[in-house]
Amino acid sequence: MTQNPLTLYKVLLEKFGHQNWWPIDRKYHEKNKSDPRFEVIIGAILTQNTSWSNVEKALENLKSKNMLNIKKISSVDIRILKEMIKPSGFFNQKANRLKNIAVYLHENYDDNLDVFFNRDITEIREELLSLDGIGTETADSILLYAGDLPIFVVDAYTKRLCKRLPLETGESYDGIQEYFQERIKKHHKENELTQIYNELHALIVLLAKKYCKKKPDCKNCPIRKNCSYIK
């Protein structure tokens, strides 16, 4: 069986099951009547260049002060924000980025993420990329996991996997993204794409952490039969 995004999705889903990303504290948002999508936006920025366990510590600090909403992040003193997100690393940069996007959403969309996300995906993506510190991976994570919009997120794990299998994607972000999206679109309906992109990205991350590590565990890897790296 030739490896491609569809067979990869099938094998990994069978191995690991549904991942139900993005992790959100829904009880917190129900209690505080806040929008869980903004937690995803915060998490997508905090996870830049760090592990998710560090992000969770920063999120807990923010939750302890009931700060997981646009208005509060936009108005909080930057020094206080830096202290709260310190566990995520690069906290000076990240605090400025969080403040920047919160102020932008507050001033331009009146804190309303329905208005922000209810537009053409290309328009939203370009807008996100125009903001300081928002690159392609962060923008696409926000679109997919907060906006529930059909776009495939490419990260370092995906790039590693594509190179090892290998898949004929090239090494650029856009090339890899286009490769995955084109092949998945051919076999699935439009209303199925968001969920598949969501699951496949999460499954690739799990594969990379468990098996396709920097020093890979090829012997036990669930896709070893269709991977050239082990050979």
Please report, for the chain, the start and end positions of each structural domain, with discontinuous segments joined by +.
Answer: 5-19+151-226, 34-146
Residue 231 confidence (pLDDT): 72
Sequential DSSP letters for 151-172: -----HHHHHHHHHTT-TT-SS
- pLDDT digit string, tens, across residues 63-87: 999 999 999 999 999 999 999 999 9
| Architecture in CATH of 5-19+151-226 | Orthogonal Bundle (1.10)
Average pLDDT, the chain: 96
- pLDDT digit string, tens, across residues 103-119: 999 999 999 999 999 99
Task: Name residue 153's amino acid.
Answer: V
pLDDT-derived band at 1 (thresholds 50, 70, 90) equals: low
pLDDT at 202 over 60: yes
Secondary-structure class of domain 34-146 per CATH: mainly alpha
Provide the 3-class DSSP secondary structure of residue 135.
Answer: coil
pLDDT at 121 over 70: yes
Residue 206 confidence (pLDDT): 97
